[in-house]
């Protein structure tokens, strides 16, 4: 039985802007302590008329609440990803209810790749690669190497990087879903 003070966790989300293309991918695993409870979870969304890709890591209910808020911010700011991300981060940090949410969101469009956190962070990595979740560091390392040493496109880098992460991180599986712009 899952108690309210126990956490369901484990995922890997990787997004990249590379050679004029945008791709984000995620594994399908949801774990509870040392048990896999779902293998084919969908942790990605297309937003604002399919111009923005988003993925989440963390508590599922929290992530869905944040996705809904983020989607309303995107609509409010007419697809301006940076502005919507900053406004969500400010609200997330200041709101008493939202502050308790345990999730991260990775968002990408043709111009930006961002990670949004509940600490009020909106981070845009220099290399246009965003990675979150328990397998994020593994996928990030693989993606950086593949950008430098392969001819793969954005989708190929996401696919291969998530496969590598799934072979290392016990909270990441190889049931990979990828979205592209």
The verdict on residue 52 lying in a domain is yes
Q: What is the pLDDT of residue 59?
A: 76
Give the whole-angstrom CA distance, residue 169 versus residue 147: 21
Give the whole-angstrom CA distance, residue 91 versus residue 83: 12
Q: What is the pLDDT of residue 121?
A: 86
The verdict on residue 3 lying in a domain is no
Give the whole-angstrom CA distance, residue 13 versus residue 170: 14
Q: Give the domain CATH number at 58.
A: 3.60.20.10
The verdict on residue 48 lying in a domain is yes
The verdict on residue 33 lying in a domain is yes
Q: Digits of tens for pLDDT over the chain (181 positions)?
A: 333 344 445 789 999 999 999 999 999 998 888 888 889 999 999 999 999 999 998 877 777 878 888 999 999 999 999 999 999 888 877 766 666 667 789 999 999 999 988 777 899 999 999 999 999 999 999 999 999 999 999 999 999 999 999 999 999 999 999 999 9
Q: List active site positions.
A: 11
The verdict on residue 2 lying in a domain is no
Torsions phi, psi for 9 (to 5 deg): -150, 180
Q: Which domain holds residue 30?
A: 8-180
The verdict on residue 1 lying in a domain is no
Q: What is the pLDDT of residue 14?
A: 98
The verdict on residue 66 lying in a domain is yes
The total of structural domains in the chain comes to 1
Q: What is the pLDDT of residue 3?
A: 38
Q: What is the pLDDT of residue 7?
A: 47
| Burial class of residue 42 (count of CB atoms within 10 Å of its CB; 0-12, 13-18, 19+) | exposed
The verdict on residue 112 lying in a domain is yes
């Amino acid at each position: 039985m899952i108690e309210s003070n126990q956490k369901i966790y484990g995922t890997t989300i990787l997004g990249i802007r590379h050679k004029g293309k945008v791709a984000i991918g995620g594994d399908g695993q949801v774990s509870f302590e040392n048990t896999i409870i779902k293998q084919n979870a969908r942790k990605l969304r297309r937003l604002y008329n399919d111009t923005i890709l988003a993925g989440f890591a963390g508590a599922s209910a929290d992530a869905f609440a944040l996705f809904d808020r983020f989607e309303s911010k995107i609509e409010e700011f007419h697809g301006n990803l940076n502005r919507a991300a900053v406004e969500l981060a400010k609200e997330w940090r200041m709101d008493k209810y939202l502050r308790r949410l345990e999730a991260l969101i990775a968002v990408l469009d043709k111009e930006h790749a961002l990670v949004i956190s509940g600490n009020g962070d909106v981070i845009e990595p220099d290399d246009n690669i965003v990675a979150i979740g328990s397998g994020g560091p593994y996928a990030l390392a693989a993606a950086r190497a593949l950008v430098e040493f392969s001819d793969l496109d954005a989708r190929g880098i996401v696919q291969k990087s998530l496969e590598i992460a799934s072979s290392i991180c016990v909270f990441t599986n190889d049931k990979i879903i990828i979205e592209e712009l």
